[in-house]
Amino acid sequence: MRAPLATAIAIAVGLIVLAGYFLPDQKLQNVRSLLLDWSILLAAVATLVAIINLVISHFRKVANGVNQNRVFSIVVLVSFFITLLVGMVLGPANQQFQRVVTHIQVPIESTLLGVLSISLAYAAYLFTRQRRGWANTAFMTAVVFFLLANSWFLVFGQAVPVIGEILSGIQKIPLAGSRGILIGISLGSLLTGLRILTGIDRPYSG
Amino acid sequence: MNLGGSMLGAALVILSAGMLLIFLRPNKKRAPIRLREIPTFNNLRQLLGAAMEQGTRIHLGLGRAAVGNPNYGSTLAGLNTLESITRSTLFADQIPVVTSGDGTTSLLGQDVIKAIYRKESTVDRVPQDGSQLVGVTPFAYAGGSIPVISSPEVSANILIGHFGVESGLLTTASLTDSIHTLGATDSLPAQSVFFNASGDTLLGEETFALPAYLDQKPSMLASLMVQDLLRLILVFGMLVGVVLVIMGVI
């Protein structure tokens, strides 16, 4: 086995954290929270390393890239260093600094959200045009049906005794479907975690 | 969590771990595992083959879940997929380009690529630019990934990990550049976006089956078998619960 020490540490820490989740022992809880605090620190250091990697990558693009890529990379680097410099001088908690950053970030992200809504509408149009099978016809029918079932259109039927119960049952069908998908995802996550916890899979080379 | 819930959770974990270890043991009497035919996986193999022939790269988006987040399981499945894809494309010397929205995931991605190269490649140079942190907020991640997807050297787009509705921007970038997209995620909103806007979508537990289909490693196959068994147990439990409720026992 490669890197047995790293694997042993990973398994031991994983088992302690997992045991702390299930067992109410106070000493175990203390060790667990200490290990989780360390993991937060390590994640912060990892983010710093990844940011340095990003900056180096953009410096490389400026040095070697074609015109358009070079311009984007220059914008990224200039914005990054201005934000870093101002953040270090004023401090990240400074109100003025936070206001400036927020007033740049929020409009940009709102614009992207607007673009997203148009993109999804366009993708939906392409979906109906390009995919013509029974499964997709059933999907589109279900979309229209449940949109109607959950809208004001059938709200008057809720008051009628039998129809109200039928409508209530219909409205729960998407919930049941999503729970089915979520159960599959939970089992997949559990097994993926267990493969790492038992050292069968190692997403780290050590 | 109350004591009953804790005990039930611990029992499920122990049961799963036990079954996983049992299925991992070699047993000549056991029939070989046949994986269900899923067209998406065949398409993916064709995409990998085409990328190697053309000398282009695969973009692998690992999403933006952070380590310790309950949604990190799908990112780990993404890292497994990265391992398989790097191994598949090793002979063409065209490593996948990986983007993520978390620093640790970015380092793990780079580590996976380097580990495969160190172990299995004859090339001395280990690639440096395989994995990038492109943005830490949802839209920053999407905005940072779009230039990578649109790059002329990228011929296919695989998104596997935790995404939100911002994944619509990534799939649209692929549509615009006529790049095939495979989407696999644990998030229900992103699954609906992928179903609507990507060429191939993996739903629910299929996300976690992707590495098994690509590599067919015994550990991955054992994991799939345990998943199927646990699902059967849960279905049986739910049916028993329904019958007991109807009978008025509980």
- Is there a domain that residue B20 lies in? no
- Is there a domain that residue B183 lies in? yes
Nearest CB to B10; choose among A22, A47, A69: A22
- B237 and B174 in a common domain: no
Structural domain including B112 reads: 34-216
* pLDDT band of A206, cuts 50, 70, 90: low
- Work out the average pLDDT over A175-201: 91
Residue B104: the pLDDT is: 92
- Is there a domain that residue B22 lies in? no
Domain map of chain A by residue range? 1-65, 131-200
Mapping DSSP to helix (H, G, I), strand (E, B) and coil, where does residue B165 land?
A: coil
Identify the bridge partners of residue B181 per DSSP, sorted by sequence position: B157
Contact between B103 and A18 using a beta-carbon 8 Å cutoff = no
Q: Which residues of A touch B143 (CB under 8 A)?
A: 108, 112
B5 lies within 8 A of chain A by CB: no
pLDDT at A31 over 60: yes
Nearest CB to A50; choose among B17, B107, B205: B107
Q: What is the DSSP string of B30-72?
A: SPPP-PPP-HHHHHHHHHHHHHHHHT-EEEEEEESPPTTSTTH
Residue B100: burial class (beta carbons within 10 Å; 0-12, 13-18, 19+): buried
| Higher-pLDDT residue of A204, B50 | B50
> What is the C-alpha separation between A70 and A53, in angstroms, rounded?
17
Residue B124: the pLDDT is: 65
Residue A111: the pLDDT is: 93
Nearest CB to A187; choose among B10, B104, B227: B227
Q: Which residues of A touch B68 (CB under 8 A)?
A: 36, 39-40, 43
Residue B195: the pLDDT is: 87
| Higher-pLDDT residue of A14, B250 | A14
- Is there a domain that residue B225 lies in? yes
- Is there a domain that residue B4 lies in? no
pLDDT at A89 over 60: yes
Percent of chain A with pLDDT over 70: 94
- Is there a domain that residue B110 lies in? yes
Residue B235: the pLDDT is: 92
Q: What is the CATH number of the domain that holds B43?
A: 3.40.50
Q: Which residues of A touch B231 (CB under 8 A)?
A: 183-184, 187
The parts of chain B modelled with pLDDT lower than 70 are 1, 122-125
Contact between A47 and B136 using a beta-carbon 8 Å cutoff = yes
Report the domain count for chain B: 2
Least confident of A52-56, A101-105, A171-175, B99-103: A171-175
A79 lies within 8 A of chain B by CB: no
Measured N-to-C along each axis, helices B72-88 and A161-197 cross at an angle, to the nearest 10 degrees, of: 60
Residue B59: the pLDDT is: 94
The 10s digit of each residue's pLDDT in B70-82 is 889 999 999 999 9
Residue A183: the pLDDT is: 93
- B146 and B80 in a common domain: yes
Number of inter-chain CB pairs under 8 A, A vs B: 191
Give B112→chain A minimum CA distance, Å. 7
B197 lies within 8 A of chain A by CB: yes
Q: Which residues of B touch A127 (CB under 8 A)?
A: 196-197
- B127 and B228 in a common domain: no
Q: What angle do CA B7, B11, B13 make, to 5 degrees?
A: 120
Q: Which residues of B touch A107 (CB under 8 A)?
A: none
Contact B233, B225 (CB under 8 A): no
pLDDT at A25 over 90: no
Q: What angle do CA A84, A85, A90 make, to 5 degrees?
A: 100
Least confident of A86-100, A152-166, B47-61, B86-100: A152-166
User: What would you report as the CA-atom Rg of chain A, rounded to the nearest whole angstrom?
Assistant: 26
Q: Which residues of A touch B114 (CB under 8 A)?
A: 205
pTM summary value: 0.89
* pLDDT band of A48, cuts 50, 70, 90: very high
pLDDT at A4 over 80: yes
Interface test with B, best of A48, A125, A190, A198 (most B CBs within 10 A): A190
Q: Which residues of A touch B193 (CB under 8 A)?
A: 120
Contact B179, B155 (CB under 8 A): yes
Residue B33: the pLDDT is: 76
Q: Which residues of A touch B166 (CB under 8 A)?
A: 112, 116
Residues 135-194 in A contacting B (C-alpha not used; CB under 8 Å)? 139, 178, 180-185, 187-194
- Is there a domain that residue B24 lies in? no
Q: What is the ipTM of this complex?
A: 0.90
Measured N-to-C along each axis, helices A67-90 and A26-64 cross at an angle, to the nearest 10 degrees, of: 130
Contact between B106 and A120 using a beta-carbon 8 Å cutoff = no
B13 lies within 8 A of chain A by CB: yes
Residue A139: the pLDDT is: 80
- Look at the alpha carbons of B63, B69, B74, B75 in this order and tell me if their dihedral is positive or negative: positive
B154-162: strand order across its sheet: B131-133, B97-100, B57-63, B154-162, B180-185, B200-202
Residue B125: the pLDDT is: 67
B116 lies within 8 A of chain A by CB: no
Q: Which residues of B touch A39 (CB under 8 A)?
A: 67-68
Contact B17, B9 (CB under 8 A): no
Residue B122: the pLDDT is: 67
Measured N-to-C along each axis, helices B188-197 and A95-130 cross at an angle, to the nearest 10 degrees, of: 50
Contact between A43 and B3 using a beta-carbon 8 Å cutoff = no
> What is the C-alpha separation between A87 and B35, in angstroms, rounded?
53
- B174 and B223 in a common domain: no
* pLDDT band of A159, cuts 50, 70, 90: confident
* pLDDT band of A124, cuts 50, 70, 90: confident
Residue A165: the pLDDT is: 83
* pLDDT band of A204, cuts 50, 70, 90: confident
- Work out the average pLDDT over A75-82: 92
User: Helices marked H in chain B — which ranges?
Assistant: 3-24, 39-54, 72-88, 103-120, 138-150, 167-176, 188-197, 206-215, 218-247
Q: What is the DSSP string of chain A?
A: --SHHHHHHHHHHHHHHHHHHH---HHHHHHHHHHHHHHHHHHHHHHHHHHHHHHHHHHHHHHH--HHHHHHHHHHHHHHHHHHHHHHHH-TT-HHHHHHHHHHHHHHHHHHHHHHHHHHHHHHHHHHHH--SHHHHHHHHHHHHHHHHTSGGGGGGGGSHHHHHHHHHHHHHHHHHHHHHHHHHHHHHHHHHHHHHTTSS-S---
- B222 and B206 in a common domain: no
pLDDT at A151 over 90: no
> What is the C-alpha separation between A30 and A27, in angstroms, rounded?
5
Interface test with A, best of B81, B230, B235 (most A CBs within 10 A): B230
- B226 and B195 in a common domain: no
Contact B235, A183 (CB under 8 A): no
* pLDDT band of A194, cuts 50, 70, 90: very high
Query: How far, CA to CA in Å, does B98 sit from each of A66, A78, A108, A151, A165?
Result: 21, 24, 24, 41, 50
